[in-house]
Structure 1
Amino acid sequence: MENILKDVRLEYVSRACHLDTELLQSAQEGKRVDDSLKKRAGEISARRGEEQAEADALFLCEELRRRPVEASFPYREPETPEEIMAMFPGSAPPVFTERQLYDRILGAWLGRAAGCLLGQPVESWDRERILGFLKASGNYPIAGYLSSDVDEDVRKRYDVKDEPGAYGNKKVSWVNNITCAPEDDDMNYTVMGLGILENYGKDFTPMDVAEYLTLNVPVFMTCTAERIAYKNILNGILPPRSASYGNPYREWLGAQIRVDAYAYVNPGNPRAAAAMAVRDASVTHTKNGIYGAAFCAALIAESAVCQNAREAIDRALAYVPGGSRLYEALTEFLKLCDSTGEPEEMIRWIHGRYDEKNLHDWCHVIPNDMIICLALLYGGEDFSRVIGLAVEAGFDTDCNGATAGSAFGMMYGTAAIPEKWTKPLNGKLMTRIGCLGRTEFTSLADRCVKLAGK
């Protein structure tokens, strides 16, 4: 087995490696990033790997954090959980029969797992490579899971590999390499949310999230913002500062992939789901990173009671601060979708504004939330098309496939998810969260139903 500790695993705890991301993030937050700062950042990054370079990088990150937002910045973005939640509208939770509740929640778990598995093998591929592989393997538009069992010339042309896998999996999670839903951070975090609720109750605090994270999630099973926050917590830098201290990934999508369980136990109650999402997200993210978490939690919770995706999306937007960059971007995008019949045109529009080959754009909440909305809007009642679009669009494929699949499953239930997507999962998920190992989706759904009834 190849040892990737130094070259891969430690990269996202190194501030010197990603100072370019910090400069982009700070500028997008309305802070002045001048040429002298860029020069200093370049000099520090050139010394990456040196102990002093890490100290200098952290000093620069903190200098940027303390800089005021320019007076001309057109957005108003609350940062504390209390300020964000104070803007939420009220919601009255509906009444479900236990059978209805179980079917919606199980559908959400299965939809999330299927969307995640579909996107996992091509996570980090750019769209050109994804589409090329899909067409060469006869799976475009996407009609089923992706397989590495393709002609040798296709394998060579698109650098298809079976090893090593991610997140402790021995092999890459092509459908021909799995025996259940494989371990992945998107699925681990959903189990983590359930564990937080069971251990601390629905009124859990950010400190509870920090404790559960560091007790139950191996550090290298986290990525980007979570890994930096984890490091901060171990060094005694606790929430809320754990989210901002030397953390250039604070508006990436890590928080929004942690919120599904909060929606599962609050179906039709977006206010409660979004409030839980905000408290969780504030441990690792700030501003739009938190808003994305609130939006996704509200979207999935609303999906339990809405008639279609557009209704759920519109209602979920009420939980995103109206003066934020995320709100402006999504409302502009949705308006364009109203007059555009073809998803491909809107995918090109996203790619024209965000560069998936730039790590910051690739993982930022804004383009990825656009893709989630696009998949649900244009996929409609066709599960295959929903998760297919989420992956065909590029950017963070497994995260977007998982969230779109989760919302679909919550809206339409298990019967709307074709067997070709559920059968390869064999009813089980692999996760090391809570030392579960292989656990059944029916058991996870039962646990959520029990919490939803409290």
Structure 2
Amino acid sequence: MRLSWVQPEDLLSHELVTARDLGKDVSKVTWRWLDAGGSLTAGSSGASATPATPELHALAEKLMAALDEQPMPVRPGEPDDFAGVKALWRNVPRQQPRHDLERLHAAWVGRAAGCVLGKPVEKIPREGIREILQSSGQWPLTGYIAGDSVPDEVTRRWPWNRRSAPTSLAEPLAAGVSDGMPEDDDLNYTLIALRLVERCGPGFTADDVAQAWLDELPGGRVFTAERIAYRNLLLGHTPPETALRGNPFREWIGAQIRTDLYGWIHPGRPDLAAECAYRDASVSHVRAGIYGAMWVAAMSSAALTADNIDDVLDAGESVVPPVSRFANAIMDGRDLATRGDSWEGVVDEIYARYGKRHWVHVLPNAALVAAALEYHGGDFAASVCAVVSAGCDTDSNGATVGAITAALAGAVPDHWAAPLRDTLRTSIPGSDKVTFTELAERTMKVST
């Protein structure tokens, strides 16, 4: 078996893009790699088109090390330290904490429902998702995706996510195949964050996060930046070095999917939620990758106390460096949604601006999340269906949008919640088949 997301010949093509984005000079490395027969083409599953020869493996390892040795240039408006980010904050909203168990429960269930919706079509591009739905009379999407009505020739052209389809399509959900929300890394991280806060309190450190991963997170259930950071931890490195060594995914979406819980324990305090998110994200990410984590944590905090989606989006923007690439992406998404005549037109424009990036990169995904929330006014069903139909990281975006809109509403419609049986299946030791009711109560206990 050839493990993906860690082979140097696969990582280098991604690293050349990331290093350039962060201001490094990649020209000499690029030409040396191409001259040796390497490829700049990287696949969706982590493998590149470069032949896996011992010579190219060794060269890629050497070139990755050379890029690691280059210091990351200062980028105006994009601080690397929390104090620098915080110094740029303006008008971060603060509300009196309102501990609402119904909203917390809705947030947990909404995150699960949105994740399940996107799981079967994860890795399928937008055009494939649309063909699947149109061919089976499910366009526009209004509920969990049914598989039985999709023509065979369409699923041959656009295969379901092999791991998720058997448990996450409408039919196995209705049949109770998983007896709850199927296991997924998006919810694993939320549970680990809860257990971390229960053990260490809200003042946990990045080292505490790293130790929690080593203690509780199965190595086979980490991907992209988290897989690299996990490997770096096993090699004896500590945060933030774990985010920097051989990690071309440090501005991808991974940290953005881990931080809802920090908002839920700080209702009405986006500033405190964002600070927790920064510490967590620094284990595996930098800059835009960290800003995405802070953005989601702040919105998750506001969603428990706000009355409308604009206040939630404002809270998220308030903790992000205002002239950063990440801020541009979320403001683009929101602005396009405000001015767009149709959801598909909004998505077309987001892809025109950000679609050349990998489908797991944080920028296109954050733009889609912001746009879906704004365009559909925070409505749960419309928002999760829209963001999943738009492609990119479908299960992660569905989870984020589902959690925020459900918390804002204080409930998840029964036809979305019922198939999940108020139960979370997880690969975290000792926590399989925990109920969302229990998780909400435990979250309430550690809330500030």
TM-score (norm 1): 0.89
1:84 is the counterpart of 2:85: yes
Identity across aligned pairs (percent)? 36
After superposing the two structures, state which structure 1 stretch, 434-443 or 282-291, moved more: 434-443
In structure 1, distance between residues paired with 2:82 and 2:300: 20
Q: Matches of residues 132-151 of structure 1 in structure 2 within 5 Å?
A: 132-151=131-150
Query: What is aligned with 2:21?
Result: 28
From 428, 440, 443, the equivalent of 2:423 is: 428
1:188 is the counterpart of 2:181: no
Secondary structure of 1:142's counterpart equals coil
Q: 1:19·1:45 contact (CA, 8 Å) conserved in 2?
A: no
Query: What is aligned with 1:111?
Result: 110
Read off the aligned partner of 2:79 and give its amino acid letter.
P
Read off the aligned partner of 1:57 and give its amino acid letter.
A
Q: 1:165·1:173 contact (CA, 8 Å) conserved in 2?
A: no
Query: What is aligned with 1:451?
Result: 446
Secondary structure of 1:64's counterpart equals helix
Aligned length: 431
After superposing the two structures, state which structure 1 stretch, 60-69 or 251-260, moved more: 60-69
1:57 is the counterpart of 2:60: yes
After superposing the two structures, state which structure 1 stretch, 403-412 or 303-312, moved more: 303-312
TM-score (norm 2): 0.90
In structure 1, distance between residues paired with 2:186 and 2:446: 21
CA deviation map 1:6-64 (0-9, x unaligned):
2xxx1111122131111111111122221x32132343746764566445434323322
Deviation for aligned residue 1:307 = 2.4
Deviation for aligned residue 1:381 = 4.5
Query: What is aligned with 1:16?
Result: 9
CA deviation map 1:190-238 (0-9, x unaligned):
1111011111111100000000001101111011000000000000111
Superposition RMSD on alpha carbons, in Å? 2.2
Secondary structure of 1:13's counterpart equals coil
Read off the aligned partner of 2:65 and give its amino acid letter.
E
Query: What is aligned with 2:32?
Result: 40
In structure 2, distance between residues paired with 1:212 and 1:156: 39
1:173 is the counterpart of 2:176: no
Deviation for aligned residue 1:433 = 1.4
Deviation for aligned residue 1:344 = 1.6
After superposing the two structures, state which structure 1 stretch, 245-254 or 310-319, moved more: 310-319
Runs of 5+ unmatched residues, structure 2: 40-49
Query: What is aligned with 1:370?
Result: 367
Query: What is aligned with 1:240?
Result: 240
Relative to structure 1, the CA distance from residue 50 to residue 199 in structure 2 (aligned partners, 3 Å threshold; closer, same or farther) is: farther
Deviation for aligned residue 1:267 = 1.3
Query: What is aligned with 2:211?
Result: 211
Q: 2:136·2:151 contact (CA, 8 Å) conserved in 1?
A: no
Relative to structure 1, the CA distance from residue 156 to residue 229 in structure 2 (aligned partners, 3 Å threshold; closer, same or farther) is: closer
Read off the aligned partner of 1:337 and give its amino acid letter.
A
Query: What is aligned with 2:44?
Result: none
Deviation for aligned residue 1:157 = 5.0
Query: What is aligned with 2:43?
Result: none
Q: Matches of residues 297-446 of structure 1 in structure 2 within 5 Å?
A: 297-355=297-355, 360-414=357-411, 417-446=412-441
Deviation for aligned residue 1:437 = 1.1
In structure 2, distance between residues paired with 1:271 and 1:311: 14
Relative to structure 1, the CA distance from residue 135 to residue 407 in structure 2 (aligned partners, 3 Å threshold; closer, same or farther) is: same
In structure 2, distance between residues paired with 1:246 and 1:371: 28
Q: 1:130·1:392 contact (CA, 8 Å) conserved in 2?
A: yes
CA deviation map 1:60-88 (0-9, x unaligned):
233224435679x6x43111334334444
Query: What is aligned with 1:95?
Result: 97
Runs of 5+ unmatched residues, structure 1: none
Secondary structure of 1:375's counterpart equals helix
